[in-house]
Structure 1
Amino acid sequence: MTGKTHIAIGVAAGLTIAYGKPINDQLIIITASTLGSLIPDLDHPKSKLNQKLLFLKNELYRIIFFIATAAGFLYLYLQSNNVIFALLSLIFLFISFSTHRGFTHSILGFLIFTYIIKNISSQYSIPYLYESISLGYLLHLVADFLTPKGIKLFYPLNLNIASPIVINPNSGIDSVIFTLASIYSIFLLFKFIL
């Protein structure tokens, strides 16, 4: 799936969960589910998030950037002895060496990342952060699982797993999903206002 479709799915999921909740919680839920829907593509230099994070949009710079990020979190861990920093260092190191749809698109990547978010959420008392990011992340994995290329679900095994029923992103179905998710989101926004 394309980045814009992942964003549309993340926003639609966030709006669905946020409906009827206080405004502060709504903002956290929608932002977190949208961010969660983009995180798995950190392993691609031209992903939506990397367009904002990386000065140069190429694979070598992506690797260097995430190794440096891992080193920064390792330094913070050594200074504070906070396990979250050690796990963040580990996850960014894995991201730096992962191929697209590898570590970040696996069960292992999902579990480590959501464990970190759960701890951050409870440590800083941020309601709905864990659930929202996890949902956005999971929906990203499901969407990519439905493509012909599939995902390396059982990373570090170098085996792409795809759904028996696939959606070819180049067939126009991606645009249909984007449009439907956007229409649904607009509908929910009107319900929020009324």
Structure 2
Amino acid sequence: MNGTAHATIGAATGFIIANNLQSTPSQTLLLIGIGTVSGLLPDLDIDGKLRGKITLSHKMFRAVAQLIGVLLICYSFYEGANNERYIGMGIGLALLALSSSIKQKHMLTITGIGILAGGLSLQEMWLLLLGIYILIASFVAHRTYTHSILGVIFFGFIAANLESSLAVDGVYYTCLIGYISHLVGDSKFLPFNKRGIKLFLPIWSKDM
């Protein structure tokens, strides 16, 4: 199933739940948005269609990192004292070296680290867990762990904490049903899917 279909089902999930809960217009829009994102989220894994669309260009990120490296070298050279000068210049050189190896495939990992750091800074558990989810997703093959029961359970924790943070009824079920709808849509029992999902990883790796 393509991304548009997943997003549509997720959005419909949010709308139905909002309608059943008689949510306010703003809450309805929020649930529709959350449902849309939840319906797409499993495709953040390697080769997933979503991963390239939520990350910045690696060229821009690399350019910024290189600029910071150069500025750090210059600052350390002119303002640093004794060992601090050499340490600062060394860090700047290391940043230049590392930034040159950054590719687009690394951007999702960097995004996950950034979101995780944001969650720690803001003390928002759902954001921290989302960062961990994205970080893990950046290393796993398509239609594996993000498309498994294990992925659903982990996302359930994200959803529960998000509902608690937003204090809006229906967020948890919108997230969970939207996410599960993606797995159902990618399942092998649907005739238009040539391959299925590894629902029972890591116990069983057969496509379902």
Give the TM-score category using the shorter length: 0.5 to 0.7
1:43 corresponds to which letter in structure 2?
D
- Partner Cα distance (2:133, 2:153) in 1: 11
- Partner Cα distance (2:149, 2:104) in 1: 26
Cα 1:73–1:9 shift into 2, 3 Å: closer
Segment of structure 1 superposing worse, 12-21 or 125-134: 12-21
2:104 corresponds to which letter in structure 1?
Y
Measure how far apart 1:39 and its partner are: 0.5
- Cα shift readout 1:2-47 (whole Å, capped 9, x = no counterpart): 1111122223323322336221221122111111110011115562
Measure how far apart 1:108 and its partner are: 1.0
Identity of aligned residues (%): 34
Measure how far apart 1:71 and its partner are: 2.6
TM-score (norm 1): 0.68
Segments of structure 1 that go 5 or more residues without pairing to the other structure are 163-194
Segments of structure 2 that go 5 or more residues without pairing to the other structure are 59-102
- Cα shift readout 1:94-134 (whole Å, capped 9, x = no counterpart): 10111111121011111111201211210231332221111
TM-score (norm 2): 0.64
- The answer for the alignment partner of 1:17 in structure 2 is 17
Measure how far apart 1:81 and its partner are: 6.5
2:57 corresponds to which letter in structure 1?
F
Aligned length: 158
Measure how far apart 1:72 and its partner are: 2.5
Q: Which secondary structure state, in structure 1, belongs to the residue aligned with residue 138 of structure 2?
A: helix
**RMSD (CA atoms):** 2.7
1:135 corresponds to which letter in structure 2?
I
- The answer for the alignment partner of 1:110 in structure 2 is 152
Query: Retained in 1: the 8 A contact 2:196–2:207?
Result: yes
- The answer for the alignment partner of 2:133 in structure 1 is 91
1:1-194 matches, within 5 Å, as 1-19=1-19, 21=22, 22-45=24-47, 47-48=49-50, 50-55=52-57, 61-62=104-105, 64-76=106-118, 83-84=125-126, 86-145=128-187, 146=190, 147-157=193-203, 159-162=205-208
Query: Retained in 2: the 8 A contact 1:45–1:51?
Result: no
Cα 1:49–1:23 shift into 2, 3 Å: farther
Cα 1:89–1:31 shift into 2, 3 Å: closer
Cα 1:101–1:84 shift into 2, 3 Å: same
- Partner Cα distance (2:5, 2:142) in 1: 17
1:3 corresponds to which letter in structure 2?
G
- Partner Cα distance (2:156, 2:9) in 1: 19
